[in-house]
Amino acid sequence: MWCGVVSCRAVLWCDVVPCADAFTAIHSDEAIARLAKLSRTATVPADDEHTAGDVIAFRQFRAQLVKEGWWKRNPLYELWFIVMVWALVGFGTYLAVYTNQRLLAIAVIGLAMQQSGWTGHDYQHGRGTFCWWVGHATAGFINGFSPVWWSGKHNTHHVFPNFHGTDEDIANDPIFHLWIPEKDKDHWIRKYQAWYFLPVCAFLYVSWRLQSFQTAKARVSNKY
Task: Domain ranges for the chain, please list them.
Answer: 172-224
Q: Model confidence at 1, in pLDDT bands (50, 70, 90)?
A: very low
Q: Model confidence at 17, in pLDDT bands (50, 70, 90)?
A: low
Q: Residue 50: its pLDDT value, please?
A: 55
* Pairwise pLDDT comparison (96 vs 60), residue with the higher score: 96
Residue 48 predicted with pLDDT over 80: no
Q: What is the pLDDT of residues 92-114, one digit of tens each?
A: 999 999 999 999 999 999 999 99
Specify the range with the lowest mean pLDDT, choosing from 13-17, 25-29, 140-144, 201-205.
Answer: 13-17
* Pairwise pLDDT comparison (78 vs 126), residue with the higher score: 78
* Pairwise pLDDT comparison (136 vs 98), residue with the higher score: 98
**CA–CA dist 75, 143 (Å, integer):** 24
* Whether 181 contacts 173, CB under 8 Å: yes
Residue 74's region, left for phi above 0, alpha for psi from -120 to 50, else beta, is beta
Mean pLDDT is highest, among 57-71, 99-113, 198-212, for 99-113
What share of the chain in percent tops pLDDT 90?
22
Residue type, 151: S
Show the 3-state SS of the chain. CHHHCCCHHHHHHHHCCCCHHHHHHCCCHHHHHHHHCCCCCCCCCCCCCCCCHHHHHHHHHHHHHHHCCCCCCCHHHHHHHHHHHHHHHHHHHHHHHHCCCHHHHHHHHHHHHHHHHHHHHHHHHCCCHHHHHHHHHHHHHHCCCCHHHHHHHHHHHHHCCCCCCCCHHHCCCCCCCCCCCCHHHCCHHHHHHHHHHHHHHCCHHHHHHHHHHHHHHHHHHHHC
**CA–CA dist 171, 177 (Å, integer):** 8
**What integer is the mean pLDDT of 125-148?**
85
Residue 224 predicted with pLDDT over 60: no
